[in-house]
Structure 1
């Protein structure tokens, strides 16, 4: 059973879990640093490596049954650091000083919100769905759109490409489907919910003003998947 919000004791086992999560984050940052130094100086590539890689802490927290208190606390700390990084160069290569986007802050906040709710109701798979759709769907959509997106469209001033949106839809469907398949098995709800979630997640990603999609995509995807599965009695 998942730990919810009660007080916890920092046992050796819990310290090991925290160390594993921290090691993963530092590993992703190290990979981004090596790519920046030896492969490419493109800041968008570096940001997407971190964007895709760091979000997998939600899977580690789920598999290791890390208490919600740890996840929420880490999210608050990360949110503070990201806010400061918009003023000071605390995260060079990930944020640019003065960059007109709060995407990194929304990213960190999303983790805490998802953990706070879905750990409490003991349904962590939906937190994983939200984060993985943001990591792989949103992350790859941006890369594909910028490099291969030839068919553009605008939505409330934000320019997107159909190639990027198609990538978002495909990855969202695959991610949601795989997680639901692993938890509930090969039932019709798995694939129907995944299809609906993919459509909504793609629509939310199209509204990316100030990086708000880093909040709306994970929260919206997780909430929709949860509500639909509950509605169908799964």
Structure 2
């Protein structure tokens, strides 16, 4: 019966991952139509929620083509959503940005890079830093940022940037502790990635941070571990 159980399990796992993504978008759309939350909050629900699907993909050991197909599909959907009200919860914040498009593209690039190498942890690091680090930094900066600064005409706050650094470093430590065990290298890697991710987030415009932060963070972490291990 293994020949029957294996494909059934795969489709159930794929359905669970799809249900997670649909559920996140559904929650954001519901909050938007309720009109009780700021549009930026709805957008961050999607930003933080969807990226966690990489953990399911890693756990279920999805093949590379699943991630690439999903990335292409959602990239096209995001491009269309800028013109048509397909997923209004991801846009409508009054900003000129291709951030959601870059978000989908970066996931595909990271999966295409690290999945064939059997190193999904680095894809997860890049994606989760983009989702949790960047997402929480924006929320903290907007709500509790009391010490602003400007870069290239963009308003930032030290509270938001410190949140970005702290969350990024924590993600690197947690994932590498899980995959490699404790060593001095992972703590140095976490520090370097935290600084790099925060710098990339601070200087990026028009949503490019959704490309530069995950790719830069994953690449730097991978490079550090290749040099030290």
TM range (shorter): over 0.9
Which residue number in structure 2 is paired with residue 19 of structure 1? 15
CA offsets 1:78-99 (integer angstroms, 9 cap, x no match): 0000001111111112112984
- Residue 209 of structure 1 and its aligned partner are, at CA, apart by 0.7
Which residue number in structure 1 is paired with residue 100 of structure 2? 104
Is the alpha carbon distance of 1:39 and 1:192 closer, same or farther for their aligned partners in structure 2, counting shifts above 3 Å?
farther
Aligned with 1:218 (options 205, 214, 217): 214
- Residue 42 of structure 1 and its aligned partner are, at CA, apart by 0.5
Residue 51 (1) aligns with residue 47 (2)? yes
Q: Within 2, Cα distance between the matches of 1:39 and 1:52?
A: 20
Whether contact under 8 Å (2:29, 2:88) holds in the other structure is no
Where has structure 1 moved over 4 Å in runs of 4 or more? none
Taking the TM superposition and a 5 Å limit, the aligned residue runs for 1:1-234 are 11-38=7-34, 40-96=36-92, 99-233=95-229
Whether contact under 8 Å (1:149, 1:162) holds in the other structure is yes
Gaps in structure 1 of 5+ consecutive residues:
1-9
What is the DSSP-based 3-state SS (H/G/I as helix, E as strand, rest coil) of the residue aligned with 1:209? coil
CA offsets 1:150-199 (integer angstroms, 9 cap, x no match): 21111112211111001000101111110011111111111110011000
State which drifts further: 98-107 or 136-145.
Answer: 98-107
TM-score by length of 1: 0.91
- Residue 39 of structure 1 and its aligned partner are, at CA, apart by 7.5
Gaps in structure 2 of 5+ consecutive residues:
1-5
State which drifts further: 151-160 or 96-105.
Answer: 96-105
Q: Within 2, Cα distance between the matches of 1:223 and 1:40?
A: 39
- The number of equivalent residue pairs is 224
Whether contact under 8 Å (1:86, 1:99) holds in the other structure is no
TM-score by length of 2: 0.93
What is the DSSP-based 3-state SS (H/G/I as helix, E as strand, rest coil) of the residue aligned with 2:84? coil
Q: Within 1, Cα distance between the matches of 2:71 and 2:171?
A: 23
- Residue 215 of structure 1 and its aligned partner are, at CA, apart by 0.4
Q: What's the RMSD between the two structures over aligned residues?
A: 1.6
Is the alpha carbon distance of 1:90 and 1:38 closer, same or farther for their aligned partners in structure 2, counting shifts above 3 Å?
closer
Q: Within 2, Cα distance between the matches of 1:107 and 1:115?
A: 13
Q: Within 1, Cα distance between the matches of 2:46 and 2:58?
A: 20
- Residue 108 of structure 1 and its aligned partner are, at CA, apart by 0.3
Q: Within 1, Cα distance between the matches of 2:140 and 2:28?
A: 19
Greater helix content: 2
Q: Within 1, Cα distance between the matches of 2:203 and 2:63?
A: 33
Is the alpha carbon distance of 1:121 and 1:89 closer, same or farther for their aligned partners in structure 2, counting shifts above 3 Å?
same
